[in-house]
Amino acid sequence: PYNLKGRNFLTLLDYNREEIDYLIKLSENLKIKKNSGIKGDLLEGKNIALIFEKTSTRTRSAFAVAARDEGAYPEFLGINDIQLGKKESVADTARVLGRMFDGIEFRGYAHQTIEELAVNAGVPVWNGLTDSYHPTQVLADLLTVKENLGYIKGVNFAYLGDGRNNMANSLMIAAAIMGMNFTIVSPDKLRPAPALQEKCHSLARESGAAIRQTDDPVTGVKNADVIYTDVWVSMGEEDKFAKRINLLKPYQVDMEMIKNTNNDHPIFLHCLPAYHNTDTENGKYIYEKYNIEEMEVTDRVFNSKYSKVFDQAENRMHTIKAVMVATLGK
């Protein structure tokens, strides 16, 4: 096995294909172990800090359950509970937490914050989402792809919607490293940043991945094995709601789009939370005032046989456990 002890997990760019394969294999083994009811001790005696500047259902729960399953103690540190960034610098917070905890998860806004934590903590730091990257999510996505298709390299992967957000960035990186054919299907205004595209193109030359971008939702999904989308408005950019709806309307994942893959068995993935049945105002969904009935994915697709979104959500726990065990465990 690969020795990843003491490593951070920040963007995925710091991991190679063999190491990511190893993390997925380890996730599969830990999933089998959990499902057989075997209690683990691979993180026995470890204390884990969970810092959250933004809200979370899956990531927080996955870290907490994964830690306990393997004998570690997780401590939740919400942004309103600790001094981070208000009364105390990020660097000092990192130095203090590093004296008490064996590993630190961070979810928040600026990616710079987690880089600063990582430089100063002296213990592994794991990215539970920043404005720029969401690498633990992508591990769960890769596991879900492997479980459903049987392989990762060579998979045709179409990502619809906001091509500049943390999910688009991290999925593109994973595809480039792992050799998936990745098409960003998004309006030109929401293309991935040129510098990151360039980096991914150079990684793709090594792995054999094809990284493409198109604004055409019809041809963009042709031959796709995986259709992936994310919310049109990410945490922290709520003021862009109206603009995003107008830009992204044509990229809604509906049954027509599933048909346009020309594939009998595509799978639909979404990191969740999905916007499709939330936020009402006077009994109406907020987005209805923008003349749209559903958001990034229709209920029909979300609840169809193509949709693997809840397997994907469960896999957050198994893959996060693998990251902690690999970087910190026995």
Least distance in Å: CB of 230 to ligand NVA? 5
To the query of whether residue 107 is one of the catalytic residues in this protein, the response is yes
Core vs surface per residue 213-244: b (16+ CB within 10 A) or e:
bbbebeebbeebbbbbbbbbbbbeeeeeeeeb
Does residue number 230 form part of the binding site for ligand NVA (CB under 6 A)? Answer: yes
7 catalytic residue (yes or no) = no
Q: Which two tokens stand for residue 32?
A: 């089998």
Start-to-end Cα distance in the chain: 13
Nearer to ligand CP, 230 or 294 (CB): 230
Query: Smallest Cα–Cα separation from 318: which of 6, 19, 105, 24?
Result: 24
Which of ligand NVA, ligand CP, none does residue 57 bind (CB under 5 to 8 Å by kind)? Answer: ligand CP
Among 7, 60, 107, 318, the active-site one is 107
Clarify whether 131 is annotated catalytic: no
Q: Is 183 in the site for ligand CP (CB under 6 A)?
A: no
Of the candidates 129, 171, 185, 221, which one interacts with ligand CP according to CB under 6 A? Answer: 129
Taking CB under 6 A as the rule, does residue 59 contact ligand CP?
A: yes
Site for ligand CP in 137-176 (CB under 6 A): 137
Phi, psi of 50, rounded to the nearest 5 degrees: -120, 100
Task: Give the 3-state secondary structure of residue 48.
Answer: strand
- Is 230 designated active site? yes
272 annotated ligand binder = yes
Do 112 and 92 touch, CB atoms closer than 8 A? no
Applying CB under 6 A, among 167, 175, 309, 324 the residue interacting with ligand NVA is: 167
Active site residue 318: no
- Residues with Cβ within 8 Å of 237's Cβ and at least 6 positions away in sequence, in order, are none
Name the nearest CA neighbour of 313 among 274, 266, 276. Answer: 274
Pick the binder of ligand NVA from 197, 234, 263, 315 (CB under 6 A).
Answer: 234
- Which residue from 58, 146, 276, 308 is in contact with ligand CP, where contact means CB under 6 A? 58
User: Is 134 among the residues known to form the active site?
Assistant: yes
Residues 6+ apart with CB under 8 A from 174: 12, 20, 135, 138, 141, 142, 180
Catalytic residue among 7, 60, 111, 134: 134
Our finding on whether 53 is near ligand NVA (CB under 6 A) is: no
The answer to whether residue 97 forms part of the interface with ligand CP (CB under 6 A) is: no
Those residues whose C-beta lies under 8 Å from the C-beta of residue 140, and which sit 6 or more positions away, are: 312, 313, 315, 316, 318, 319, 320
Q: Is 271 in the site for ligand NVA (CB under 6 A)?
A: yes
Nearer to ligand NVA (CB atom), residue 156 or residue 234: 234
Q: Report whether 59 belongs to an annotated binding site.
A: yes
230 binds, among ligand NVA, ligand CP, none (CB under 5 to 8 A by kind): ligand NVA
| Strand 284-285 versus strand 280-281 pairing type | antiparallel
Q: Which is nearer to ligand NVA, 72 or 145 (CB)?
A: 145
The alpha helices in the chain, defined as continuous H runs, are 17-35, 58-69, 90-100, 111-121, 135-149, 166-178, 194-207, 241-248, 255-260, 299-302, 309-328
By CB under 6 A, residue 166 contacts ligand NVA = yes
CB of 58 to ligand CP, least distance (A): 4
What's the rounded Cα separation, in Å, for the pair 121 and 230? 32
Binding to ligand NVA (CB under 6 A) within 111-140 occurs at: 129
Q: What residues act catalytically?
A: 107, 134, 137, 230, 271, 316
Task: Cite the annotated binding site for L-ornithine by residue number.
Answer: 166, 230, 234-235
Site for ligand NVA, rule CB under 6 A: 129, 165-167, 230-231, 234-235, 271
